[in-house]
Amino acid sequence: MTNREKDVLKLIESNPMISQDEVAKMLGITRSSVAVHISNLMKKGIVRGKGYVLSKEEPYVCVIGGSNIDIQGYPENSLILGDSNPGFVTTSLGGVGRNIAENLTRLGISTKFLSAVGDDENGKRILNHAKSIGLHMENTLIVNGENTSTYLCVLDKKREMNVAISYMDILKNIDINYIKKNDYIIKNSKFCIIDANLPKIVEYLVTSYDVPFILDTVSASKAKKIKDLVGYFHTIKPNKLEAEALSGIAINDETDLKKVGQYFVSKGVKNVFITLGSEGVYYKTPNIEGIMVPPTMEMVGATGAGDAFVAGLTYGLFKNKDIEEEIKFAIGASILAISYEETINPNITPSLVKKTIEKLNFKNKKIIL
């Protein structure tokens, strides 16, 4: 390929429905020149068909969700409410959807992330970082005059969350029109992860597109808003409280867990994973059920474990691992997350996850149905 053909191809990869006029304008060349370059790319078999469909595009995961700047503070000593506490403050990139997408990218899975940021320095920081690690965010909605989402969290001395404030108004701009404009990314994905911070478009997504959807419920309050849609999801990963909100069934013991698992499977969910904190992960499919318990691990960072867990589960699905291997890999990914100060452990790789889980003594109570 010539350098100009590479420039044209990059724009097509970002948006296969882009017009020749748009390509010409973005590259500062004539439309007739664009037509010649596209013709050459088609002759070489690099693109084909209407909409410049890529002939050899690698399988990828689509993630739809929020992009935040995370501000986290914790005290040197015991947290004193109503007073100024000497301590530490860190600022990092965050957002449930963005965290999952970054973890997947670092695990070597091609990932396309649909999100919204403001036209501010924080938005630029998020987009530049995505580009630097190979995360596809070229279709991000940049909203003029609005601030990028911010998540402010105060931890106690043990690094457990005490209180948090979430400012995510910009996500209202991720609407049906934005989804329709970018729906070729959803349609062609191997899996699509939905961050439940977007309840207004979840119903449209799961009822409009025939792809395996994965749900990260985010919180019990958000789970309640989409409980009637749970059957549309291929895979769900709630914690205990979120599972109760999604099912309407209280979980007090193992018998209740089984009832909840059966409820979700009866609705059409193929894979159910309910995280139980130190008690492990309950899992259920139409054919297998059990509880996987890892050893207790020392926690350095308090955030990011759930996002890494979802990325690990998705990695397992993407690589066609069996469900027990999938859970172990997800637990390994979450352990790497909590062993690092910031939300994302930049050292995470499939080989490091495997080395991590090889050192763990898992207890697996498996029930064959």
Task: Give the alpha-carbon dihedral of 255, 261, 264, 266, to 10 degrees.
Answer: -80
pLDDT value at residue 264? 97
Q: Taking residues 205-227, what's their average pLDDT? A: 93
* 18 and 133 inside one domain: no
What is the side-by-side order of every strand in the sheet holding 281-284? 111-114, 61-64, 191-195, 213-216, 235-236, 271-275, 281-284, 288-293, 363-368
Contacts of 84 (CB under 8 A, 6+ apart): none
* 187 and 322 inside one domain: yes
* 99 and 140 inside one domain: yes
pLDDT reading at 350 higher than 90:
yes
* 212 and 310 inside one domain: yes
The closest of 170, 177, 155, 16 to 97, measured between CA atoms, is: 170
Provide φ and ψ at 291, rounded to 5°. -130, 125
* 242 and 261 inside one domain: yes
> Tens digits of per-residue pLDDT, 264-294?
999 999 999 999 887 889 999 999 999 988 7
Binned at pLDDT 50, 70 and 90, residue 157 comes out as confident
* 277 and 299 inside one domain: yes
Domain span holding position 30: 3-54
* 111 and 43 inside one domain: no
pLDDT value at residue 158? 81
* 172 and 42 inside one domain: no
The closest of 92, 117, 96 to 127, measured between CA atoms, is: 117
* 48 and 95 inside one domain: no
Number of domains in the chain: 2
pLDDT value at residue 296? 63
pLDDT value at residue 367? 57
Looking up residue 286, the CATH number of its domain turns out to be: 3.40.1190.20
* 187 and 100 inside one domain: yes
* 175 and 35 inside one domain: no
* 48 and 109 inside one domain: no
Contact 11, 27 (CB under 8 A): yes
